[in-house]
Structure 1
Amino acid sequence: MNISLTGRHVELTEPIKAHMNASIETLSKYNMDIISVNLIATSQTKKGKPLSVIEFVINLAHKNSIVIKQSDEDLYAAIDLATARAQKALRRMHDKDNHHHKDGINEAKNEAGNGIDLHEASEAMEDEIVPVELTLYKPREVEDVLNDIKENKKLFEIFIDNDGKTRVLYKRNDGKFGLY
């Protein structure tokens, strides 16, 4: 990895260079093919305040270059913020390359369907419905159901009448009873 440190209107002292090199070395943990890193430190005045601007240009093999520009009043803080942004960008590229490989729908279907007979699987999934006569629900008179509702203070009761129809007896808001 080629490292280039440049200072524009800023004198790069040994502690500043050491801090820049240490921050650049943290980028190597993502195992990306970094060809070169250019770090440019610039001093500017904006609205009467001195401002330090750090620009990272990271050239990667077989990928687009990453350019990050960060400004802060303190030079060391600008370096740290730019390094954090560069690490985030490299981590995203690394994760995208290694962990987010998407298979096509046809590959997924083929992998899921290996060794499975679809006809047998569809027959096994079909449920068999068997009609059952419930002896628990005997036909009831409307008067008996009305007495049950009054005694138990229920709002409604579903029952089968003597004709075999399913009926609902319910209490209306006006205090009377309705039959459906």
Structure 2
Amino acid sequence: MNISLTGRNVELTEPIKAHMNTSIETLSKYNVDIISVNVIASTQSKKGKEHSTVEFVIHLSHKNSIIIKQNDDDMYAAIDMATSRAQKAMRRMHDKETNHHKDGMNEAKNEANTAIDLHEASEALEDEIVPVELDLYKPREVEDVLNDLKDGKKVFEIFLDNEGKTRVLYKRNDGKFGLY
């Protein structure tokens, strides 16, 4: 990776160059083929205030170049913000390459056939019924069930009435109770 550091209207001191070089070296961890990185640092004065501008031009092999321009009052802060934006762009490029593989149809069919056992899959899809015993077998009065429903957090209660019929008492949306 070729690194070019340029200063316009500003002298690049050794600490600034070292900071730029360490920032650029963090871009190599994304496993994207970087041909060269050009860093242009400049200062401008607008309305009596000095603004530092850092521009990263990252040339990648077989891809478009990434150009990032960042302004700030402090040169180091501008370098850090431009580096974080460059890292974000490189991470997106890396994720795009690794997560969006285009496999051929034959590879996908072979992989699907070897990975799935149809007999096990059909057995897994069958419903399993687990018998559950009811807690209360004795007949109950509707008023008793209504009081239990008001006191508890349940929405409905299934019970046997005095005539031996299975009944359901439930809370309605309007705050009243319904009985089946």
2:45 counterpart of 1:20: no
CA distance in 2, matches of 1:49, 1:56: 23
**Which amino acid counterpart does residue 12 of structure 1 have in structure 2?**
L
Residue aligning to 1:158: 159
**Which amino acid counterpart does residue 41 of structure 1 have in structure 2?**
A
Percent sequence identity is 68
**Which amino acid counterpart does residue 65 of structure 2 have in structure 1?**
S
Indicate the larger mover: 109-118 or 46-55. Answer: 109-118
1:101 is displaced (CA, Å) by 3.7
CA distance in 1, matches of 2:28, 2:4: 15
CA distance in 2, matches of 1:90, 1:49: 33
1:32 is displaced (CA, Å) by 1.8
Q: Number of aligned pairs?
A: 160
- CA deviations 1:45-73 (Å, max 9, x no partner) are 23431100000010100112111111111
Residue aligning to 2:42: 42
CA distance in 1, matches of 2:125, 2:52: 68
CA RMSD of aligned residues (A): 4.0
Residue correspondence of structure 1 range 1-180 to structure 2 within 5 A:
1-98=1-98, 100-101=99-100, 111-114=111-114, 116-117=117-118, 121-122=121-122, 125-127=125-127, 137=137, 145-146=140-141, 149=144, 154=148, 158-159=159-160, 162=163, 165-167=165-167
Residue aligning to 1:175: none
**Which amino acid counterpart does residue 144 of structure 2 have in structure 1?**
I
CA distance in 2, matches of 1:73, 1:64: 30
1:7 is displaced (CA, Å) by 1.9
CA distance in 2, matches of 1:179, 1:88: 60
Structure 1: stretches of 5+ with no match in the other structure: 171-177
Contact 1:35/1:61 (CA < 8 Å) preserved in 2? yes
Compute the TM-score of the two structures, normalised by the length of structure 2: 0.64
Structure 2: stretches of 5+ with no match in the other structure: 150-156, 171-177
Compute the TM-score of the two structures, normalised by the length of structure 1: 0.64
Contact 1:39/1:56 (CA < 8 Å) preserved in 2? yes
1:44 is displaced (CA, Å) by 1.0
Larger Rg: 1
